[in-house]
Chains A and B, each alone.
Chain A
Amino acid sequence: MRVCVDAEICQGHTLCNMTDPEVFHLHEEDGHAYVEDEQVPAGHEDAVRVAAETCPEQAIKVEE
């Protein structure tokens, strides 16, 4: 599974980081989210799907 955060759409709600802080990191300067590695680590697939669903802006793109 692959995941990315569209920086143009993300507004820094931080709900993805609340869902899975190991996959979704927040920029120090504005709290906007990013992933370090688009490849989702094993065992985090469900959390990533939930994060995509809870994003108020729908900025998270998941490829199954």
Chain B
Amino acid sequence: MPNQTIDFDHHSAEFGEKSTEILSERRGECPLGFSKAHGGYWSVFAHRTGIKVFQDAAHFSVCKYTTESGEVKGGLAFPTIESLDLIPGEVDPPQWNGYRKLLNPVFSPAAVDRLRPRIRVLFDELIDEFFEAGEADLVLDLANLGPALVTVDFLGLQRSDLELFSDPFHKAMWAPAGSPEWGEAIDGFARIPAVVLETVQARRAEPTDDYISELVSMELEGRKLSDDELIKILVQLLAGGIDSTAALLANVFIYLDDEPELRTRLLEDEKFLQRATEEFVRYFTPIQSIARTSTEDVALEEAEIEGRQPVVVWMASMNRDSEVFDRPDEVVPERWPNRHAGFGIGAHRCLGSNLARAMFQIGLTQVLRRIPDYRIDRERTVPYGSKAQVNGWVKVPATFTPAPRVAAG
């Protein structure tokens, strides 16, 4: 299969509707293939091949670069999102090592455990807003807001700016590249740095107990982080914290619509909840794909990839690969081992994976505790029109018996 050319466009309307089927077909034909859409790019479908790309940072870079004609290319999205620069997501080793070492401690399992009570308070506040009404949109009123609120709260950004931060990240993911909504999201990204910088400067002058205060005082190789670095780090943390966990919650709320026994088991058995979380991440793969750029001519499986080619790795496909998973197209909540690639593989493994798990588990169990009989209005759910990057939902309306308030007073 030397340099197999495939008919594939992850930004097409057809892919938005049938991404799982299309990925399954392509994976059946070849571990990776080249398509001519968007100026030409490689797509990686097989689990083993995706791992090779992710674990080979020397040949497959995350960095953006500028072409001779002044065009910005590369980065984690293909086509490139120029207005969104990320640290450490779009930094290769060795520079990556320093940034990651700086940021790892606050996202370690131990640190995230200390955040759990606060995460629960924030999710409860959101549920308080709608529990008496007997109806809510589990995406618009909860899944979209909870992870964003936790992120903004822990960073120390203004809660009143929540939508300014979250809107572009949701929109850029559900809208197809090139659509008017996608354009709005791109403009929205461009507005975020200035707002973030205000808080950075305020905390530098007068530190508080938030994470931005910690970041401005941190030292990397004996120097403080620059404004530019701080902005890129904070945009990264917003990008990671906002849409992916929302997408996981939305999918699982829908999946559990008609699963009363599973709901009970998730509440009663913590180990089961832990394993089911990994299975939900595998099956729904909130982040469907992540891009790399080949640094030079490189052989991968039977293919010869030229230098400076976009290479999109499909975690959504890796996670359904029957070479690795039995019954890959079924949710098996107790599945273990579960060598899924939902959080990525290699150096750029999702920095916030432990926080994502905590937000998901707390958001899910608080819904199951407080509105245990919720049912989804399936006729009115709206999935993302694009599945190029995130497998999410725009609207998930639900009804339930109004439940008692948790917060005192």
Given the known interface contacts A54-B336, A56-B345, the answer about A30 and B105 at a Cβ–Cβ threshold of 8 Å is: yes
| Interfacial chain B residues near A30, Cβ < 8 Å | 101, 104-105, 108
Give residues of chain B (338-382) contacting chain A, Cβ–Cβ below 8 Å.
Answer: 338-341, 343, 345-347, 349, 353-354
- Are A11 and B349 touching (Cβ within 8 A)? yes
- Are B353 and A13 touching (Cβ within 8 A)? yes
| A41 proximal to B (CB < 8 A) | no
CB distance from A61 to the nearest CB of B (A): 16
- Are B354 and A31 touching (Cβ within 8 A)? yes
- Are B108 and A26 touching (Cβ within 8 A)? yes
- Are A31 and B349 touching (Cβ within 8 A)? no
| A28 proximal to B (CB < 8 A) | yes
- Are A29 and B109 touching (Cβ within 8 A)? no
What is the count of residue pairs linking A and B with beta-carbon distances less than 8 angstroms? 62
Given the known interface contacts A11-B349, A56-B345, the answer about A18 and B275 at a Cβ–Cβ threshold of 8 Å is: yes
Per a CB cutoff under 8 Å, which of B108, B274, B337 touches A31? B108
A13 to B346, CA, bound (A): 10
| A45 proximal to B (CB < 8 A) | no
| B55 proximal to A (CB < 8 A) | yes
- Are A27 and B349 touching (Cβ within 8 A)? no
| Interfacial chain A residues near B341, Cβ < 8 Å | 56
| B90 proximal to A (CB < 8 A) | no
> 1/0 per position for A14-43, CB-CB distance to B under 8 A?
110111000000111111000000000000
| B321 proximal to A (CB < 8 A) | no
- Are B339 and A54 touching (Cβ within 8 A)? yes
- Are A15 and B338 touching (Cβ within 8 A)? yes
| B278 proximal to A (CB < 8 A) | yes
| A6 proximal to B (CB < 8 A) | no
| Interfacial chain B residues near A15, Cβ < 8 Å | 278, 337-339
CB distance from A6 to the nearest CB of B (A): 12
> 1/0 per position for A36-59, CB-CB distance to B under 8 A?
000000000000001101111100
CB distance from B32 to the nearest CB of A (A): 19
- Are A57 and B345 touching (Cβ within 8 A)? yes
| Interfacial chain A residues near B407, Cβ < 8 Å | none
| Interfacial chain A residues near B51, Cβ < 8 Å | 56
| Interfacial chain A residues near B349, Cβ < 8 Å | 11-13, 56
| B205 proximal to A (CB < 8 A) | no
A18 to B337, CA, bound (A): 10
- Are A11 and B347 touching (Cβ within 8 A)? yes
A17 to B110, CA, bound (A): 13
| Interfacial chain A residues near B354, Cβ < 8 Å | 14, 31
Among residues of A, the one whose C-beta sits closest to the C-beta of B351 is A12
Among residues of A, the one whose C-beta sits closest to the C-beta of B104 is A30
A30 to B354, CA, bound (A): 11
CB distance from A24 to the nearest CB of B (A): 12
| Interfacial chain A residues near B110, Cβ < 8 Å | 26, 28, 31
A53 to B337, CA, bound (A): 6
Per a CB cutoff under 8 Å, which of A27, A29, A57 touches B55? A57
CB distance from B340 to the nearest CB of A (A): 7
CB distance from A21 to the nearest CB of B (A): 10
| Interfacial chain B residues near A19, Cβ < 8 Å | 336-337
| Interfacial chain B residues near A50, Cβ < 8 Å | 336-337
| Interfacial chain A residues near B338, Cβ < 8 Å | 15, 54
The 8 closest A-B pairs by CB, nearest first: A54-B337, A30-B104, A11-B349, A53-B337, A31-B108, A29-B105, A31-B109, A28-B110
Q: 10 A–B contact pairs at CB < 8 A?
A: A14-B354, A15-B339, A18-B275, A18-B278, A19-B336, A19-B337, A30-B101, A31-B110, A51-B337, A57-B55
Extra contacts, 6 of them, besides A19-B336, A57-B346 (Cβ < 8 A), are A12-B104, A13-B353, A27-B108, A30-B104, A30-B108, A31-B110
Chain B residues packing against A (C-beta within 8 Å): 51, 55, 101, 104-105, 107-110, 274-275, 278, 336-341, 343, 345-347, 349, 353-354
